[in-house]
A and B are shown apart, each in its own frame.
Chain A
Amino acid sequence: MKLNRRHFLGASAATGLAGLSGLPLRAQANTLNVTAYGGVWEQAIRDCFVAPFEAKTGATATVSLGGPAQWLAQVEANPENPPLDVLIMTPDLAVIAAEGDLMDEFTVEKLPNLADIPQEFTDACLGKGTYFDYGVGGITYNKQYVSEPPKGFAEFVERVSNGEFIASVPSISYGPTPVFFLWAMNNALGGTVDNVDPFFEAMAKMKDNLVFWAGPNDFFNHLASGEADLGIYFDGRTWNHVDEGVNWIDFINPEEGGAMTTVAVQKPKHASDLAWDYINEMLDPANQSKFADILNYGVTNKKVQYSEKLAARVPAMSDALLPPYAEIARVRNGWVDRWNREIGM
């Protein structure tokens, strides 16, 4: 068929009219709108939580891909009729959402599996959510160039300062940096939430031997290209690379304890009560175990039994430190400001 303007414009208009069917997304009685990060995360959410939820309740769950800032904004804009029923949140945003009275209280009566989640994880969300998954920030290194990696943050700082290694560390533009890098290293070097001088002094000593990554994929590129020998990264992401065939990479949980980077689950106020059934599935030990196997990250139910491969990889909760997210939220802006002035990246 010959392409002419009339055909082209007609086809365009028809496609456009076909798209005019979207009305506002609202919670429906037997449908739950849940959230997931993209890629392997989304598939794991569907297989481990959505499938058992649908099988047990007969309801349907639709999965919205995206990120916590986006989902929280959508709930804030529609607090009386939230477009989402279950949110996956970063720990700092979980605190903000709880403080803003946007989320429902978590209790064992509503969520029987909550009884097997450490109470501190629910307390960290001010009782309006809990953690269901965690990673640990530590030292990832290229085995081809680093035969004896630093065992902890203090040794990392000393050897990078001496020029023994070029290190790739997260820049301040990456959201979790103030917690999993700044707080964790500062804590290991003897600092406190109100005194981050040890961290900034360490960064000044290392500055000639640092490169900065703005996103997790940058870190891997730094190591793959030889631009850096080691750096600060996450355990689960490192193991995912290993499982994809990258055999020259390895991870160490620092001896002082890496920061636990958690993922919270919350239910917006006025969201469907079916959300409780879904969240209970997210906290179920068998479902969490399956989820951990797919993602290479730790999960929070105390009854979870990890597979042999994963048991060797996932740091025990007692070997990682739970950052005081609510306290950090109070001083975080000051840290970022000081970082911008003294480090700049």
Chain B
Amino acid sequence: MRLSDLLLWLFTAAFFVFMLLPILVVVVISFTSAGYAAFPIPGWSLKWFARIFEYQPFIDSLWVSLELAVVSTVGSCVLGIPAALYLARSRSGWATAVTTFLLSPLSMPMIVIGFASLFFLSALGLGVSFLALAIVHTVICLPYVIRTVTAVYRGISPAYEEAAMILGASRFTTFREVTLPLIRPGIAAGCLFSFLTSFDNLPVSYFFGSAQTNTLPVVMLAYMEHQFDPSIAALSTLQLALAVVALVVADRLYGIEKMTVAT
């Protein structure tokens, strides 16, 4: 093995250790028998996983987070896919401006979006509600769908759609039978990013939190500030497992390789 290859291998190994070790420590702490978070752990136990199911706000907020992630992902697709299809083929200068505008939530601090949205939606009478939260989450998830669908659609030759229409297909049939199957990896990638972005979001959800609308990250933060046990580590481990399951499902349905090409 050449020296440069060896150095590259060592650098890669060190990089993965640096990235994965903190996660591994959290996973190990979630199995501790101690009543506090410390590493190394004195013994093994599953009691902190049991604690998650005993503490009702964790369960209630988990359902809110899941519902919110699904609603905002669906909302992002409904709004984002047509926009992406139009903007990807448009040569107008306006299209670039509109695309930049739609992607702008990516470049704004989330806490600013959350704070401003609270006042804006309250002025519209939506106040602190699930509907308001879903609207803001849709806004922050929208760029992921637009980005991935646009990237895939730009890589597809217009000749496929033109051929379908020359052969007599209506616009809708062309979309359903030609365009949609071709852009599916982009939609899947956008949905995956949207779902995970919404599910993990704290700064926006924080401002819309109430007994009915608190999401899991908001409850985790509130819990962590005044409780010292390792149940947050156990919850983080479960969240990690959920993300892994989502990736496996996405891989089974669409193939991770196709989706990563889309991004």
* Chain A interface residues toward B at CB < 8 A: 3-5, 8, 12-13, 15-16, 18-26, 33, 37-42, 62-67, 70, 73-74, 76-78, 81, 83-84, 215-217, 220-221, 224-225, 237, 240-241, 244-246
Q: Which residues of B contact A12 (CB under 8 A)?
A: 70, 73-74
* Chain B interface residues toward A at CB < 8 A: 34-38, 57, 66-68, 70-71, 73-74, 115, 118-119, 122-123, 125-134, 206-207, 209-214, 218-219, 221-229, 249, 252-253
> In the bound complex, how far is the Cα of B131 from the Cα of A24, in angstroms?
8
With contact pairs A20-B134, A22-B213, A66-B206 given, residues A39 and B128 touching in the complex (Cβ less than 8 Å): no
Verify A33–B210 contact, CB threshold 8 A. yes
Verify B226–A63 contact, CB threshold 8 A. no
Secondary structure dominating the interface of B: helix
Verify A65–B222 contact, CB threshold 8 A. yes
Verify B209–A245 contact, CB threshold 8 A. no
Q: How far is the CB of A147 from chain B (nearest CB, A)?
A: 22
What 9 A-B pairs are tightest by C-beta distance, nearest first? Answer: A22-B130, A39-B227, A38-B222, A19-B67, A38-B223, A24-B127, A244-B35, A77-B122, A62-B211
Contact of B131 among A20, A78, A225 (CB under 8 A): A20
Verify B228–A240 contact, CB threshold 8 A. yes
Verify A66–B218 contact, CB threshold 8 A. yes
Verify B219–A38 contact, CB threshold 8 A. yes
Verify B70–A19 contact, CB threshold 8 A. yes
A62 to chain B: closest residue by CB:
B211
Q: Which residues of A contact B224 (CB under 8 A)?
A: 38-39, 215, 217
Among A18, A66, A216, A221, chain B packs the most CB atoms within 10 A around the CB of A66
Q: Which residues of B contact A42 (CB under 8 A)?
A: 57, 222
B115 to chain A: closest residue by CB:
A73
22 A-B contacts, Cβ less than 8 Å apart? A12-B73, A12-B74, A16-B67, A16-B73, A19-B68, A19-B71, A19-B134, A20-B131, A20-B134, A22-B131, A22-B133, A26-B127, A33-B210, A64-B209, A66-B209, A66-B214, A66-B222, A67-B222, A70-B209, A77-B118, A78-B127, A240-B228
Q: Which residues of B contact A38 (CB under 8 A)?
A: 57, 219, 221-227
Q: Which residues of A contact B66 (CB under 8 A)?
A: 15
> In the bound complex, how far is the Cα of B134 from the Cα of A237, in angstroms?
36
B63 to chain A: closest residue by CB:
A19
Q: How far is the CB of B249 from chain A (nearest CB, A)?
A: 7
Q: How far is the CB of B218 from chain A (nearest CB, A)?
A: 6
> In the bound complex, how far is the Cα of B71 from the Cα of A78, in angstroms?
25
Q: Which residues of B contact A41 (CB under 8 A)?
A: 226-227
A23 to chain B: closest residue by CB:
B129
With contact pairs A64-B210, A217-B228 given, residues A73 and B118 touching in the complex (Cβ less than 8 Å): yes
Q: Which residues of B contact A78 (CB under 8 A)?
A: 122, 127-128
